[in-house]
Structure 1
Amino acid sequence: MAPPKRRDDTTGQPQAPRRKANRGRTEDGDPNPVDIHVGARVRLRRTLLGMSQEKLGSAIGLTFQQVQKYERGANRIGASRLFDLSQVLDVPVSFFYDDMPEDMAQATPAEYSSRATGLAEEPSGFDSDLLSRQETMNLIRAYFAIPDPHVRKRVYELAKALAATGENRD
């Protein structure tokens, strides 16, 4: 038995079924930048541990294809799944949101942004290509190989200071 057709409240005429909302995606249908960032952080941690997508998927009851979709931001990661990932990857849940650019953190899905005020006009996208570079991976591995957390913090502060001097030269 087919569900009854919806009727327009004003005319009583049948209406076409509503389209499913494009939840969590931008107006053009692309994944939400926050989902892309979280997925990139999953990929970063997985590769730092030398773990394959298949092994990670197996550990949390997923196929490697689903892990791929999470890492690209194509599929959103629910709260319980994010918790599972944090346990398997041995990081706090907050790790997945670390280093998120400020404008990305303020961006919202398209369905809300038109009603919200005070948001950036055009949030910049996350450059996930940076995480796929060998240089980036080597730098991250070297950084986390420093055993003393205080020394790691100083190296981080040094890198930030050097980057800032490069920006000021423009």
Structure 2
Amino acid sequence: MRRMLIGMSQEKLGDALGLTFQQVQKYEKGANRIGASRLFQIGRVLGAPVEYFYEGLDGEDGGVVAAEPVHFVMDRLSTAEGIQLNSAFFAIEDPKLRKRILDLIKQLAGDNEADESGGELPHI
């Protein structure tokens, strides 16, 4: 997810690490394990501390602490579409416009509490 958030391709990450994009793909899909030194390298290239890759894990058995619905949301957010949507949304500087767009999205998704004021959604 970090790679996609900063707009880096698998090929570019692979080049920076001296790997093929296929190897990066295998790491991302979990097909191959990542050693500690490689994880450190990946973190440096992506501008993230090693701890970033362990967020959401507890210290005892490596199990994920967060509840299952959070994983579902994170799975959606970490897709290319999810990252593009979030990047575009937060690029909107006007907070009132962001709120109106959020209300519209909630309404389209069938959320009955889309407009907390109780009125109709404003036209965008």
After superposing on structure 2, the runs of 4+ consecutive aligned residues of structure 1 that deviate more than 3 Å are 99-102, 126-129, 140-143
Total equivalences in the alignment: 88
Q: Output the aligned Cα RMSD.
A: 3.6
What is residue 75 of structure 1 aligned with on the other side?
32
Bigger radius of gyration among the two: 1
User: Which residue identity is paired with 1:48?
Assistant: L
User: Identity rate of aligned residues, in percent?
Assistant: 50
1, 7, 12: which one aligns with 1:55: 12
SS, match of residue 62 in structure 2: helix
Q: Using the alignment, how far apart are the partners of 1:90 and 1:141 within structure 2?
A: 21
- Given the superposition, is the C-alpha separation of residues 138 and 67 from structure 1 closer, same or farther in structure 2, using an over 3 Å criterion? same
Q: Using the alignment, how far apart are the partners of 2:58 and 2:80 within structure 1?
A: 19
- Kindly indicate which of the two structures has a greater share of residues assigned to helix: 2
- Given the superposition, is the C-alpha separation of residues 96 and 66 from structure 1 closer, same or farther in structure 2, using an over 3 Å criterion? same
Runs of at least 5 residues in structure 1 that lack an aligned partner in the other structure: 1-43, 108-122, 146-170
- Given the superposition, is the C-alpha separation of residues 133 and 100 from structure 1 closer, same or farther in structure 2, using an over 3 Å criterion? farther
What is residue 134 of structure 1 aligned with on the other side?
81
Q: Using the alignment, how far apart are the partners of 1:51 and 1:133 within structure 2?
A: 12
Question: 1:48, 1:141 within 8 Å by CA — same for their partners in 2?
Answer: no
Q: Using the alignment, how far apart are the partners of 1:46 and 1:56 within structure 2?
A: 8
Q: TM-score, normalised by structure 1?
A: 0.42
Q: Using the alignment, how far apart are the partners of 1:75 and 1:134 within structure 2?
A: 25
Q: TM-score, normalised by structure 2?
A: 0.55
Runs of at least 5 residues in structure 2 that lack an aligned partner in the other structure: 92-124
Q: Using the alignment, how far apart are the partners of 2:88 and 2:51 within structure 1?
A: 20
Select the structure with the greater relative contact order (CA < 8 A; seq sep ≥ 6).
1
- Given the superposition, is the C-alpha separation of residues 54 and 136 from structure 1 closer, same or farther in structure 2, using an over 3 Å criterion? closer
Measured after TM superposition, the shift of residue 51 of structure 1 is: 1.0
